[in-house]
Amino acid sequence: SLGERRAKAEKMFGLMDGFLKNDPMSLQKDILDHVEYTVARSRFNFDDFEAFQALSHSVRDRLIERWHDTHQHFKKQDPKRLYFLSLEFLMGRSLSNSVINLGIRDEYAEALSQLGFEYEVLAEQEGDAALGNGGLARLSACQMDSLATLDYPVWGYGLRYQYGLFRQVIVDGYQHEQPDYWLNFGNPWEIERIQVSYSVKFYGMVEEKASNGVKYKVWTPGETVEAVAYDNPIPGYGTRNAINLRLWAAKPSGQYDLESYNTGDYINAIVNRQKAETISYVLYPDDRSYQGKELRLKQQYFFVSASVQDIIRRFKDVHDNFDEFPDKVAFQINDTHPSLAIVEVLRVLIDEECLDWGKAWEIVCRAFSFTTHTVNTEGLEKIPVDLLGSLLPRHLQIMYDINHRFMEDLKRKIGQDYSRLERMSIVEEGIVKSIRMANLSIICSHTVNGVSRVHFELLKTRLFKDFYDLWPQKFQYKTNGVTQRRWIVVSNPGLCSLISKWLGTEAWIRNVDLLAGLREHASNPVLQQEWRMTKTINKMRLADYIETSTGVKVSLDAMFDVQVKRIHEYKRQLLNILGIIYRYDCIKNMNKSDRKKVVPRVCIIGGKAAPGYEVAKKIIKLCHAVADKVNNDDDVGDLLKVVFIPDYNVSVAELVIPGSDLSQHISTVGHEASGTGSMKFLMNGCLLLATADGSTVEIIEEIGVENMFLVGTKLHEDPQSGDKPAPGVSIQFIRVVSMVRNGYFGFKEYFNSLCDSLEDDKDFYKLGADFSSYLEAQAMADRVFVNKEKWTCMSILSTAGSGKFSSDRTIEEYAKHAWGIEPCKCPF
């Protein structure tokens, strides 16, 4: 019963109501109060959306209670705090995550049902917070959940974009982008802090001054913008702790003298002030390469400057000696995007706090830890010196100072190796003289982190070899992970209960290693039956969604084969499509009795292409062209269906992942730093069809290669390393490419360049070389799928082996080996 469950939860976690009560009656009253006083509707007449608004406000009240207690506790204990800086957080929806982490989902469901509403229906009213692009941004969100759950004293910092990642709409098979004005309907989760605001300065000039023979620099800015804080409480699971994600929004500065001579001047001056707000307007939608644009640099500095001011103010509230700074403050920079923070802290310490260079430098080097998510040098961020010099003149000087000292030091260590000195310099000479933000970050951080073991190897041997040879002790890796709270408990409640039932405990939600306990039941026919039943229910949900979003009806007997992620050449959605064409061609050429043996498939692809990424957009169109042909071929029927799910985002992922049988992670080996989608599928018992790239190598070690479908060779068996001759391009590959080239799917001219890129010498991502192996892995998946017991067993073993890929483990590793922070648990 509810009472028993509550008592149990209180015993387990010591969960206690705060000032607000959490029994269904009290929840009901709170919801109705919010209907009346917050949403301003009559408590006798409100619709689903208004009910959702009132519901979220009542949840928010409870979050705020915990948030206050947590911060009071942090203040009292004054532990070393982590400041997690990221330009992107892909939070998705908050409602279900919050009520589950607070431990009051069932109570809310009951309260709502008595009011005549269904919890699930209201939860669907919420839009996604999509303040990020892809893996990097979702990783930050998962890590925030783990940081809160594990009671670490942390603040997240980011930007409150008014426009999140664009909405993808498909018109005639082509991607179009629509603005995501996500704040349109209000955001119940944030708390605006008008009293927490800082001035951020840009442009202007730097002068050298002297007093009593001591020289110092004075930066007189040309423009000032206000940063206002918006706080987003992040509750942990099974703890009272709720941490803060502070996002900054730009507002016009208050200090502004208007000197107007007529009404027009005055009006224009006011209108121009409003331009300040554009800094935090829109998220850059490209997850490939750095845009050397002024607005982007402004965003980065705006976010960094406000965060650093806030952090230093908090430090100075309690401490008056900067020697203590590195013992109280740890900075984590999520890729190089926030790396101006390093220079900003140096600037504040030297120019404003009057520390000498040596002291300031030591403090900075002890405070910063840096994680890179990139595998190739082209992906590294570079900022043109001219741009930096005009927007942030003092910061450019400091970068030159860092570089000068570093280069002198390096020369003493390695001598006159000029090409190595050139490679390691922060400043890149060339047609466009630029600052290499990765070099800056490595030089000034105590730890450089990779995101998987193979990524770490690539960092050591290729990307940052020069730096690794100099400072091997700086380099580490923490294999990425995802939070099982969102990716099982929230998104797959059926599987969640099943796991708890068979493990006899819910403890795995905080200690995911316990999932390994499923292994001993993997062949148990009772569990297998229940496992399949759960999958079927999830497939029904997904099939409904597919029909509403694409109009295609799919059969539940078919294998749901899914590839959802950002569209990239290296992720090889094209390889998947060519495989689908091959399958279609085979079916077409089969006689009736052979057709009976075909395993029916629903091939599901989803993902956004960066607006300027032409090849990726062509891949989306090809997917639609193939789908059109296949889905309208009555001769093929349910044996093969192809669907492209539009506008893939976090909430769509929550629906798609639990409902898939097979998922594809087939990047060209050496190109995916880690990959985190695979971990979510693994937790949900979907079998993987994957190349041995990124984290997949570690997944294979955990679940055993016999429990997945491996494409191609392992990295250490790379044909280029001489173990085996590179496989030639098969006739099957030539045939499917020529079908596209010859216009079998229409749009002959449009797809020409795609086909050209697959020619032998231009096939950079090795689709031709891997095609046969890909088809073999697919054929193997078909053979296993018809053996229900074997498939289910592999599925259970996938979930059972997913424990390592929880972000809880990743965060523990960071806390111990990079940040030096300890849990700080708020008492009840």
- Closest approach of Cβ 123 to ligand NBY, in Å? 27
Pick between residue 380 and residue 739 the one whose CB is nearest to ligand NBY.
Answer: 380
Using the 8-state DSSP alphabet, how is residue 710 labeled?
A: E
CB of 571 to ligand NBY, least distance (A): 9
Q: How far apart are CA 243 and CA 89, in angstroms?
A: 15
Residue 196 CB neighbour total at 10 angstroms: 16
Q: What is the C-alpha separation between 677 and 481, in angstroms, rounded?
A: 10
Q: Which long-range contacts (CB under 8 A, 24 or more apart) does 704-712 make?
A: 704/797, 704/801, 707/794, 707/797, 707/798, 707/801, 708/794, 708/798, 709/662, 709/777, 709/778, 709/780, 709/781, 710/777, 711/666, 711/770, 711/773, 711/774, 711/777, 712/669, 712/770, 712/773, 712/774
Nearest approach in angstroms of CB 553 to ligand NBY is 34
Tell the smallest beta-carbon distance from residue 287 to ligand NBY (Å).
Answer: 3
Q: Is 455 a catalytic residue?
A: no
Taking the C-alpha atoms of residue 14 and residue 825, their distance in angstroms, rounded to an integer, is 12
Question: What is the residue whose two structure tokens read 């449009």?
Answer: 750
Q: Which is nearer to ligand NBY, 136 or 656 (CB)?
A: 136
In the chain, count of helices (H) and strands (E)? 32, 24
User: Residues interacting with ligand NBY, by CB under 6 A?
Assistant: 133-137, 139, 284, 287, 289-290, 373, 381, 451, 480, 672-676, 694
SS3 track for 162-202: CEEEEEEEEECCEEEEEEEEHHHHCCCCCEEEEEEEEEEEE
Write out the H or E segment, with its range, that includes residue 679: helix 677-683
* Interatomic CA distance for residues 507 and 513, integer angstroms: 10
Considering the candidates 38, 70, 479, 676, report the single residue annotated as catalytic: 676
Q: How far is the CB of 333 from ligand NBY (least distance, A)?
A: 13
Question: Which residue number has the CB closest to ligand NBY?
Answer: 135
The catalytic position among 568, 641, 680, 809 is 680
Whether residue 201 lies in the annotated active site: no
Q: Is 680 a catalytic residue?
A: yes
328 annotated active-site: no
What are the φ/ψ torsions at residue 545 (nearest 5 degrees)? -65, -40
Judged by CB, which is closer to ligand NBY: 138, or 621?
A: 138
3-state secondary structure of 155: strand
Taking the C-alpha atoms of residue 810 and residue 481, their distance in angstroms, rounded to an integer, is: 6
Question: Cβ closer to ligand NBY: 125 or 479?
Answer: 479
Nearer to ligand NBY, 58 or 649 (CB): 649
Q: Of the listed 565, 568, 641, 665, which one is catalytic?
A: 565
Of the residues 57, 81, 251, 373, only one is catalytic, namely 373
**What is the rounded CA–CA span in Å between residue 668 and residue 769?**
10
- Considering the candidates 382, 535, 566, 624, report the single residue annotated as catalytic: 566
The residue among 580, 626, 579, 581 whose CA lies nearest residue 774 is: 579
DSSP string for 415-454: -S-HHHHHHH-SEEPSSS-EEEHHHHHHHH-SEEEESSHH
Nearer to ligand NBY, 289 or 390 (CB): 289
d(CA 545, CA 547): 5
Least distance in angstroms from the C-beta of 130 to ligand NBY = 12
Give, for 709, the enclosing helix (H) or strand (E): strand 709-711
Q: Is residue 618 annotated as a catalytic residue, yes or no?
A: no
> CB-based burial of residue 660 (10 Å sphere; 0-12 exposed, 13-18 middle, 19+ buried)?
buried
Looking at the Cβ atoms of 449 and 651, the one nearer to ligand NBY is 449
Two structure tokens written together for 502: 């068979």
Q: How far is the CB of 459 from ligand NBY (least distance, A)?
A: 13
For the chain, the C-alpha Rg in angstroms (whole number) is 28
The residue (of 458 and 626) whose beta carbon lies closer to ligand NBY is: 458
Question: CB of 681: closest distance to ligand NBY in angstroms?
Answer: 14
Least spacing, CB of residue 137 vs ligand NBY, in Å: 6
Comparison of 89 and 785: residue with beta carbon closer to ligand NBY: 89
624 is catalytic: no
Give min distance, CB of 285 to ligand NBY, in A: 9
Q: Looking at beta carbons only, is 133 or 707 nearer to ligand NBY?
A: 133
Minimum CB distance to ligand NBY smaller for 373 or for 617: 373
Asked whether the beta carbons of 255 and 156 are under 8 A apart, the reply is no
What is the closest distance, in whole angstroms, from the C-beta atom of residue 755 to ligand NBY in the complex?
Answer: 26
The CA angle 369-165-754, to the nearest 5 degrees, is: 100
Partners of 664 in beta bridges: 689
**Which residues touch 177 (CB under 8 Å, ≥6 apart)?**
166, 167, 168, 169, 285, 611
Where in the sequence numbering do the catalytic residues fall? 373, 565-566, 571, 676, 680
